[in-house]
Amino acid sequence: MTQLNSKIITTHFLQDIANDVALEYSLTCNWSTWHIWDYYKCFQSSRISLYPEETPIFQETAPFATCVDLAFAIVVDIRCKLASTPGLEKYVESVQTIACYTGSLPFHCCAAIVLPSECIVIDIGLHYEAFIVPLHSHFDTMPYLNMRGNASFNRFRYMPSSNGAPTLSIQDSPNTGDPLQVMHFAEIGYSSAVDQINFRLARETKDSAAGDHKRVPSAKYLTITSKLLDVRYTTIPSLYIPSIGGSLATTCRLKVDFGQGTITMQIPVVDWLLKSENSSLHTEVLNSGLFYPVSDAVANLKLDLACQREISERIVLVGKIGERIGLPMKEYFRIIASVLDHIPCRKDTSSNLMLALDHSLLAH
């Protein structure tokens, strides 16, 4: 066997192991900054000393996690698999948690197997499978939709740096013509990632829209990944994965805006709401006044919790829809309560409203 063939086979085995781990987390975890805020809201420090790398914080928030939690958990699992696979033990040290930076601050984390001629990247928030970025080349992740319904994607490049060592970089939607920033990755330690990404995100605040000069948490986001067997999605971005016999896609995207007192849920239209089995929900949504189409693929449902007219029936309706596309009702109600607690005019009545929601839910 030639040296080149041996290298190709080794890369294949490494990608297979990385992909097995990536799919395990893609099928069981969801990305969320709301849950890390909820975890840290009562603490004044990152409490990093309580959580060594082998027991990541997202054990407290699972199945919801940030890029930091997922990256470090994935690195631990890949290293364990490589250490127990004959012939691949020497690649354990090549598995790294890496972060891209804006200025001096880390912005985003992922896992990678860093090799001289390629980099195997595991970043399930952007792409459900592990992917290879060859040296002097690039890889484009699957598209995603933002809350305005606009499609975007990320381009990873693996290029020699000024000192000759290969460096991985990421750029958001490079084909739009905008001079978007290219961010370079470097290895990051667990303490730095938790302190400078998780804890920083959790503690960010903004001015309240109520005009009372109070600071409230910055907007938090959550996405739900769903698996659709035997059928492929047609309008929302998805990835068909033969090994599971179906497609993975973000079927629910949630924006929690404490400053405005709103919750916006993005849902698939053609690929879900317009299906015959959802006809009754479709009618309810259209009659609710919550429905805001933003593209051919998705629509937003917007709850204004700062408005006294926002009644429990509408809140429950959005919860029912969220539950059908993967967001547990319990988590949805926790998010509703967290926003109500930051609205001065509703804080005193939030417990009564939550009780009304419970009763309304039982009635359904």
- Same domain as 117, residue 100: yes
Nearest to 299 by CA among 314, 313, 315, 282: 282
- Same domain as 226, residue 100: no
- Same domain as 330, residue 299: yes
Count of Cβ atoms closer than 10 Å to residue 185 Cβ: 25
pLDDT at 362 over 60: no
| Domain-terminating residue out of 178, 199, 220 | 199
Residue 7: which residues within 8 A CB-CB, separation 6 or more?
117
Q: What mean pLDDT value characterizes the chain?
A: 87
User: Which residue has 């959005």 as its token pair?
Assistant: 318
Greatest Cα pair distance in the chain:
74
| Domain-terminating residue out of 165, 199, 233 | 199
pLDDT at 215 over 60: yes
Instruction: Kindly give the interhelix angle for 3-28 and 67-83, rounded to the nearest 10 degrees.
Output: 130
- Same domain as 246, residue 190: no
Alpha-carbon span 331 to 321, nearest angstrom: 13
Half-sphere exposure of 27 (CA within 13 A, CB side): 16
- Same domain as 255, residue 179: no
- Same domain as 223, residue 184: no
The predicted pLDDT at position 354 comes to 60
* pLDDT per residue as tens digits for the range 282-318: 999 999 989 999 998 999 999 999 886 667 889 999 9
Taking CB atoms within 8 Å and a gap of at least 24, the contacts of 310-315 are: 312/353, 312/356, 312/357, 312/359, 312/360, 313/360, 314/288, 314/289, 314/290, 315/353, 315/357, 315/360
Residue 150: which residues within 8 A CB-CB, separation 6 or more?
295
E strands present in the chain: 30-31, 64-65, 95-102, 105-114, 118-122, 131-134, 137-140, 144-145, 151-152, 154-160, 166-172, 182-187, 205-207, 215-217, 220-229, 238-241, 246-257, 262-268, 291-293, 298-304
| Domain-terminating residue out of 164, 199, 234 | 199
- Same domain as 327, residue 234: yes
- Same domain as 222, residue 355: yes
- Same domain as 177, residue 43: yes
- Same domain as 115, residue 217: no
- The residue segments making up the domain with residue 114 are 3-199
Q: Which amino acid is at 264?
A: T
pLDDT at 271 over 60: yes
* pLDDT per residue as tens digits for the range 152-163: 999 999 999 888
The predicted pLDDT at position 162 comes to 82
Q: Mapping DSSP to helix (H, G, I), strand (E, B) and coil, where does residue 4 land?
A: helix
Please check whether residue 168 is in contact with residue 121, taking contact to mean a CB–CB distance below 8 angstroms: yes
* pLDDT per residue as tens digits for the range 120-133: 999 999 999 999 99
- Same domain as 15, residue 65: yes
Total domain count for the chain?
Answer: 2
- Same domain as 226, residue 195: no
Per-residue CA distances from 340 to 126, 165, 333, 347 (Å): 31, 51, 11, 6
Lowest mean per-residue pLDDT among 49-58, 64-73, 77-86: 49-58
The predicted pLDDT at position 5 comes to 59
